[in-house]
Structure 1
């Protein structure tokens, strides 16, 4: 028997399963097209004769355009609807990824990567707003965790495919394969996601948009959560951006395929996001957020080892801690913001991807001047600040309203 249309979606129901499958496919597609290039950064440095920091533009540039576009696309979803905006976003970014693998010049490739970030902006914040509106409070932690788990799976599969195919064939073939998989995921999303039940489109008065964003910065908790997005994602991407350069060099001298295979640890992030979201729903976000960040800090320090097994374990620990913390913080946004949730989500994710772009690229300076220990010191500093913010959030008085 189907659920009445006026009910919020409960965990364990058929409509919950349809929704989570659709949004996991969407997260898979978005992260695969964005982050599938990450293990290829050393390949781009050699192929196009650019520095490691310049090669990171293949990732940081689309993250930057995505961060900016989020602030425009999310208000549009208030007018056009959540599902149409997300559907267009997924199909466009998949097609641009396929086209990008055919472009011969570095600058042409970067232009298409920037456009991919622009089109991908229609998914992240809108998906968070969709879940905040449609899911019951008891289910939102798990559903947000599963969405982020789809992100993690897409990041892992995209990196693995790109790394392995680049070693045995061509990076262009690897990127094209990612584009085709993203297209399949877009079709899955379009067919599976239920239409919104609790969303009412309204006319957007663009002159009022700055005010809707500003109201979130007057909240006692949201600005701190926004800063967590910037710090956590910036440090996390920095680790993944430059670990490949370290492992390609002696004493490790790994192949591109072997480095790509290391990204299987992203599966740990897939499990962590769902499990941590569920734990936070039961024990409270305040208690879980700082623990997840502390866990990631331990992993960052582990990567200083000269033992390959310890380094890989450290990357896994960083991944688990990061996705756990992100799952908690992102679901907290939807519960804290009672109005204009799409805009609140878009601010969080804009800073999330801006951190990926700005802080991730800045890590190249530390790698060039101080090697891997410099990267660890840099990322450790970012996560140390994030931990202080989490402890500040743990002392935040709860809202005296149902969504607090």
Structure 2
């Protein structure tokens, strides 16, 4: 039976395709700006609220924890009630805390609002890729996905840079209100641009069956290795960026918050890192390029031990190139290696990825307190390489067991 024209998936020639790209791109830009916006403000919070580094980092890790919980819940709900509802609601609800946080009397309330904001933010990453896979033609979906992932990186860079710059010249409260206004404009654009789902088919299985799908993946040792890599990559990557303002704000750099905010522009390497990784993987294979990305990332982390600002910035650029190469190809490998319930496998990878964000922003605080930047960097550079060696050996043993 021929598919009706009005039900066919969108292609590059359709105006609706570009509306989807615009809506999801704007949504992603806001979501990842909001998620990482407090990272350059940690030294400001320690001084203004009279708290320690570990407590200050909760403004990042608790947002991530909220996001993880939101991902688990919304991934179930969006399979049953559609994607657009959660994408649109995510952006609208995540704007509200930005207008409340500047007026809270305590840091505890700010952290609570950041946790709730993280839950709200989860709607976009939980539903966007599924929406693309359902509504966009397979030949155009890879292009749409690459653009969406690029805006993830662009949002992370924008949120850090703008917040740091505005805080230096005005205040963090002004930065938050500005983000709230920008978010309201973006929410209006998303509501207007994002077309209704035409090809969504509600999941017929029960929640119990969905849980069984998750358990199925958690019993797959090859996928577990990939989920673990997601944790390790973000643990090291987030650890570097979380403590960077403290490092560059002290001797011998003594940089202002404005100057530190410019270093976050290195994050923009991720905008080209994902498409470049995909092209290289097409020529050389997923695994070799992913391994190269991990090694490049660790080398870049060690480069930040340089005693000059240019050396640190160069290292950060290398870190971003390696990280986004490794991350994008690990995500692609999960989708390839999951034989059943690919959506739940991708969700589990996202959860592991954000567990790494939460861990890197708070659990590494003792390393900073004990040994400063040097100990933190040596640990952050070593962990991915150690895990890579372990995973290669484990993968070889698992494959041998399957063939035996």
CA 1:132/1:397 → structure 2, altered by over 3 Å: closer, same or farther? farther
Q: Which residue of 2 aligns with 1:378?
A: 379
Q: Which residue of 1 aligns with 2:269?
A: 268
SS state at 2:123 partner: coil
Larger radius of gyration: 2
Aligned partners of 2:234 and 2:357 also within 8 Å: yes
Aligned partners of 1:302 and 1:311 also within 8 Å: yes
CA distance in structure 2 between the aligned counterparts of 1:368 and 1:254, rounded to whole angstroms: 20
Aligned partners of 1:76 and 1:204 also within 8 Å: no
Q: Which residue of 1 aligns with 2:307?
A: 306
Q: Which residue of 1 aligns with 2:249?
A: 248
Is residue 77 of structure 2 the alignment partner of residue 103 of structure 1? no
Q: Which residue of 2 aligns with 1:401?
A: none
User: Per-residue displacement from partner, 1:294-346 (whole Å, max 9, x unpaired)?
Assistant: 11111101001102101011111111211222222223334444654442222
Gapped regions of structure 2 (runs ≥ 5): 400-404
CA 1:85/1:321 → structure 2, altered by over 3 Å: closer, same or farther? same
Q: Which residue of 2 aligns with 1:175?
A: 176
SS state at 1:202 partner: coil
Q: Which residue of 2 aligns with 1:80?
A: 81
Aligned partners of 1:78 and 1:204 also within 8 Å: no
Q: Which residue of 1 aligns with 2:150?
A: 149
Aligned partners of 1:60 and 1:360 also within 8 Å: yes
CA distance in structure 1 between the aligned counterparts of 2:119 and 2:260, rounded to whole angstroms: 29
CA distance in structure 2 between the aligned counterparts of 1:141 and 1:205, rounded to whole angstroms: 30
CA 1:180/1:345 → structure 2, altered by over 3 Å: closer, same or farther? farther
CA distance in structure 2 between the aligned counterparts of 1:20 and 1:390, rounded to whole angstroms: 36
Q: Which residue of 2 aligns with 1:323?
A: 324
Aligned partners of 1:289 and 1:390 also within 8 Å: no
Aligned partners of 2:86 and 2:124 also within 8 Å: yes
Aligned partners of 1:144 and 1:274 also within 8 Å: no
Aligned partners of 1:141 and 1:331 also within 8 Å: no
Aligned partners of 2:83 and 2:131 also within 8 Å: yes
Aligned partners of 1:57 and 1:110 also within 8 Å: yes
CA 1:182/1:334 → structure 2, altered by over 3 Å: closer, same or farther? farther
Aligned partners of 2:60 and 2:361 also within 8 Å: no
Q: Aligned-pair RMSD on alpha carbons?
A: 2.6
Q: Which residue of 2 aligns with 1:347?
A: 348
CA distance in structure 2 between the aligned counterparts of 1:136 and 1:107, rounded to whole angstroms: 46
CA 1:145/1:287 → structure 2, altered by over 3 Å: closer, same or farther? farther
Aligned partners of 2:299 and 2:381 also within 8 Å: no
- Shift in Å at residue 376 of structure 1? 0.8
Compute the TM-score of the two structures, normalised by the length of structure 2.
0.89
CA distance in structure 1 between the aligned counterparts of 2:120 and 2:142, rounded to whole angstroms: 27
SS state at 1:101 partner: helix
Aligned partners of 2:36 and 2:156 also within 8 Å: yes
CA distance in structure 1 between the aligned counterparts of 2:85 and 2:211, rounded to whole angstroms: 24
Q: Which residue of 1 aligns with 2:30?
A: 29
CA distance in structure 1 between the aligned counterparts of 2:75 and 2:211, rounded to whole angstroms: 13
Instruction: Name the count of aligned residue pairs.
Output: 396
Compute the TM-score of the two structures, normalised by the length of structure 1.
0.89
The answer to which of 177-186 and 9-18 deviates more is: 9-18
Aligned partners of 1:230 and 1:354 also within 8 Å: yes
CA 1:396/1:168 → structure 2, altered by over 3 Å: closer, same or farther? farther
- Shift in Å at residue 393 of structure 1? 9.7
Q: Which residue of 2 aligns with 1:92?
A: 93
Q: Which residue of 2 aligns with 1:292?
A: 293
